[in-house]
């Protein structure tokens, strides 16, 4: 879709990274690869820049953003780290773990970043391109997945452009994402208890289900391909776009060898293909509910739930 911006594609070499950092400094929106999915970055300390993220995505203002930091020092300026949080960060950062923590009173963050909550979600990413951009910015980066709100997350630059061309300033092209599903989100409570809010590449145990939806990514319908999705399909109807796994091959196969890691990396690409295909329905082969398969099934269930 073409909107009011000309979206520039910038190659992620040294010059391109410097250019992307300049666009961000000026309050612009840049899609940047991370090791999970592509993020739509803006400076997290600017009300205007953060407002532009919500506008470009069509994201409801009650859905807070993840703030990406370059290191632990920057993270400590934004949130209160107790013992458990410090331990989690030292084990998994840089990497695909987002930690929800009490926001510091004097944190230099736009209010809209945490959508009125007293907490902030922080992640220190591992992708070399995202890290290089963060290193050149003296502010943290708010970055949700770089897709229109509610739609499938992007794992390639082409996916980003299909969703946001003309709505953002630039796309930093650093190749496809490795993990393929979004970061694990864990909230550290005041008493040190951990609640898993979103399963992801880092296994943290069962999804907590105290009935409170704090992360709208937990909403029943999300990652929607815009057509009906049938899960655990063991046979294919003629009008199905089949997403296969293991012995069950399809129009698009998540992993012929039955590797869950490969399946996670290909999940959104297959859903994008299914969304684009001429077939009116998507069917998905059964995926084992173990390891990163838990995150895959979590995303598939939401993709299969029709919007209200």
Of residues 123-182, those binding Mg ion (CB under 5 A): 145
Q: Which does 119 bind (CB under 5 to 8 A by kind): ligand TXA, Mg ion, none?
A: ligand TXA
| Beta carbons within 8 Å of 125's beta carbon, 6+ residues apart | 34, 35, 36, 68, 94, 95, 96, 131, 134
- State the nearest-atom distance from the C-beta of 242 to ligand TXA, in Å: 27
Residue range at the interface with ligand TXA (CB under 6 A); choices 22-30, 59-67, 244-252, 281-289: 59-67
The answer to whether 183 contacts Mg ion (rule: CB under 5 A) is: no
Q: Which does 82 bind (CB under 5 to 8 A by kind): Mg ion, ligand TXA, none?
A: none
Q: Which of 10, 23, 24, 121 binds ligand TXA (CB under 6 A)?
A: 121
- Nearest to Mg ion of 233, 264 (CB atom): 264
Of residues 143-162, those binding ligand TXA (CB under 6 A): 143-145
* Cα–Cα distance list, 169 to 4, 49, 54, 86, 172 (Å): 10, 12, 14, 35, 10
Could you tell me where the DSSP H helices lie in the chain? 14-25, 47-57, 72-78, 83-92, 128-135, 157-164, 260-276, 293-304
Phi and psi, residue 39, nearest 5°: -105, 150
| Beta carbons within 8 Å of 248's beta carbon, 6+ residues apart | 234, 285, 286
The answer to whether 215 contacts ligand TXA (rule: CB under 6 A) is: yes
The answer to whether 207 contacts ligand TXA (rule: CB under 6 A) is: no
- Residues forming contacts to ligand TXA in the complex (CB under 6 A) are 34, 36-37, 39, 63-66, 96, 98, 100, 114, 117, 119-121, 123, 143-145, 182-183, 185, 197, 214-217
């Amino acid at each position: 879709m073409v909107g009011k911006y000309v979206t520039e594609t910038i190659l992620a070499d040294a010059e391109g990274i410097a250019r992307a950092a300049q666009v961000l400094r000026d309050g612009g929106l840049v899609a940047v690869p991370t090791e999970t999915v592509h993020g739509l970055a803006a400076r997290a300390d600017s009300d205007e820049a953060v407002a532009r993220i919500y506008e470009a995505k069509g994201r409801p203002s009650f859905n807070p953003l993840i703030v990406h930091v370059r290191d632990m020092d920057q993270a400590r300026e934004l949130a209160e780290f107790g013992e458990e949080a410090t331990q989690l960060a030292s084990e998994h950062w840089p990497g695909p773990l987002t930690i929800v923590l009490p926001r510091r009173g004097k944190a230099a963050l736009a209010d809209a970043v945490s959508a009125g909550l007293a907490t902030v979600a922080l992640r220190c990413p591992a992708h070399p391109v995202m890290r290089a951009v963060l290193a050149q910015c003296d502010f943290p980066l708010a970055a949700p997945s770089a897709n229109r709100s509610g739609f499938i997350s992007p794992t390639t630059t082409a996916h980003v452009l299909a969703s946001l061309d003309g709505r953002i300033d630039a796309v930093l092209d650093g190749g496809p994402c490795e993990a393929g599903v979004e970061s694990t989100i864990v909230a550290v409570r005041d008493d040190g208890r951990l609640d898993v809010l979103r399963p992801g590449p880092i296994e943290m145990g069962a999804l907590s289900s105290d009935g409170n939806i704090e992360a709208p990514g937990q909403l029943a319908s999300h990652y929607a391909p815009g057509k009906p999705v049938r899960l655990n399909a063991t046979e294919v109807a003629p009008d199905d776009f089949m997403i296969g796994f293991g012995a069950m091959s399809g129009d698009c196969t998540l992993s012929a060898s039955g590797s869950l890691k490969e399946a996670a990396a290909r999940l959104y690409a297959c859903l994008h293909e299914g969304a684009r295909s001429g077939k009116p329905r998507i069917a998905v082969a059964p995926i084992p509910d173990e390891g990163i398969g838990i995150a895959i099934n979590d995303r598939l269930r939401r993709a299969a739930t029709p919007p209200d």
